[in-house]
Amino acid sequence: MKRASWGCCVIESNAVGLEESLRERTRIDAVALFLAHWRMSLLSVSLVTMAVLYVWGDYWPRHLQLIWCMTALSNYLAQSFVSWRMESEESLNKAMYRYMPWLLFSITVSGVVWGSLPWLLSPPITTVFAYVSLFNLMLVFCVVNSPCTRMMLICAVLPVMLLNTSALAFRSELIYAGYFLILMSLVLLYGLRVQAAIHTTMTERHLARDLNQELTRQQKQLVAVERENALLLERQRLMYDMHDGLGSTLLATLCAIERDDLPQSAVINALRGCVDDLRLVIDSLEPMEHDLVTLLATIRYRMGPRLADAGLTLDWDIHDLPELPWLEPPDALHVLRLVQEALANVLKHAHADRVRLATRHWQDHVEIRIEDNGCGFDLDTVTLGRGLRNQDRRAKHLGGELKIETAQGGGTCLKLFLPVLR
């Protein structure tokens, strides 16, 4: 129970840590969006400041106009400096811890500057107050739709809302103050909802990116595990092939030589067979890119000299074939051994002087044909040896079919049909 509780605590701690990380990255993204637009925003609000002085300059004293304008422009300059410093830092996360309090202070000062505007108007004319209040409401509405964090939004809107409402309450009619407070509260609530939706979208984007990275990492791990398993299986297959094929032949030959029961020619043939088998295993490991024609070309390269030495002419009638997606090294070795055994049978038993190796593509399968002009045999009377049974077993393992057409004195034709898609 203690171990289970400890495991639950670890999972809960990891979940909380992930949530905190997502929240922090979302906050960084929101500040980055603000910094991407701060130049245009400050230029626009500076022009608006000049326009306000021009429009309502007759309703307040000259010295108050100068103080208000200098305070606003100085604050814009300070806010520009803070934004520039944050933007020029290598790490925005570290820059936020250093400069974010100053940025929030500057935004609060901007709110105080615009919220104090109704207090500076003289004389207190209700119509002018209404226009100024509506102007502040429109300005706040523009602010809440700008990229920022929720704290930046509150620092910008709250001073305007409190100062403008108090000015309407003390210097104009109380009902106007109530209307303005309700409208400003609704705008602030709308802004908070907008920022929450933006932050939710950013958080989901980060979460999707994290999940994608995690899936990519796990996929790479699975690919690595599959590659290791494939190498292990390939290593085991090679061990079985070497042990059952080459190893057993060498052991039998060695025992026969020790008993002095094997003539030199038989020893040479046995060793030649071992070399051929070893070459087949090596050829099956070559990158063939699922190309059967390239695989058969290795047979021609390996068996061509032996056929020529035995007086056999090889007719190479190979046509282009489609790729076989399933033709991996284990199956490639079966194809090589099957074709090699067929050619070896021609050398040993056919008494032929020509052998033809041909390929054809028939819709959903390909055909490998090995035919000679030798003596042939009668399928009805002959007993199939272990070699032919092995060939048939290999063909079935490949998902194909093996057919033998022969007649006494009429040569032999071996047809191997392999599927294109297995």
Give 120-172 pLDDT, tens digit per residue: 887 777 788 888 888 888 988 888 888 788 888 899 999 999 999 998 888 87
Kindly state the percentage of the chain with pLDDT values over 90.
16
| Gap between the Cα atoms of 340 and 361, Å rounded | 21
| Gap between the Cα atoms of 217 and 221, Å rounded | 6
The mean pLDDT value for 279-304 works out to 76
**pLDDT tens, residue by residue, 353-363:** 889 999 999 88
Query: Which of 418, 416, 317 has the alpha carbon at shortest distance from 363?
Result: 418
pLDDT band at 3 (very low <50, low <70, confident <90, very high): very low
pLDDT of res. 368: 92
pLDDT of res. 7: 47
Residue 207 token pair: 């979460």
41, 107 contact by CB (below 8 A): no
Collapsing DSSP to helix, strand or coil, 406 comes out as strand
State the number of CA atoms in the 13 A half-sphere of 332 facing the CB: 29
Kindly state the percentage of the chain with pLDDT values over 70.
82
On the question of pLDDT at 2 being above 70, the answer is no
Residue 254 token pair: 């060695």
pLDDT of res. 102: 92
Task: Name residues whose C-beta falls within 8 Å of residue 83's C-beta, 6 or more positions apart in sequence.
Answer: 34, 35, 38, 42, 103
| Class of the CATH-defined domain 275-419 | alpha beta
| Residue with more model confidence, 173 or 413 | 413
| Most confident of the ranges 143-147, 307-311, 364-368 | 364-368
| Residue with more model confidence, 355 or 284 | 355
pLDDT band at 285 (very low <50, low <70, confident <90, very high): low
| Most confident of the ranges 24-33, 249-258, 365-374, 376-385 | 365-374
pLDDT of res. 359: 92
- pTM, 2 dp: 0.52
Tell me the chain's radius of gyration from C-alpha atoms: 44
Residue 50 token pair: 């000049």
Collapsing DSSP to helix, strand or coil, 201 comes out as helix
**pLDDT tens, residue by residue, 54-78:** 887 778 888 888 899 899 999 999 9
Lowest-pLDDT range of 142-146, 212-216, 241-245, 296-300: 241-245
| Residue with more model confidence, 336 or 266 | 336
On the question of pLDDT at 11 being above 60, the answer is no
| Gap between the Cα atoms of 140 and 146, Å rounded | 10
For residue 57, how many other CB atoms are within 10 A of its CB?
10
- Domain boundaries defined on the chain: 13-217, 275-419
Strand arrangement, sheet containing 354-362: 313-317, 354-362, 365-372, 412-419, 401-406
Query: Which of 30, 21, 37 has the alpha carbon at shortest distance from 199?
Result: 30
Collapsing DSSP to helix, strand or coil, 413 comes out as strand
Query: Which of 293, 335, 301 has the alpha carbon at shortest distance from 318?
Result: 293
The mean pLDDT value for 295-304 works out to 82
Q: What is the mean pLDDT of the chain?
A: 81
- Residue 352: phi and psi, rounded to 5, are -105, 165
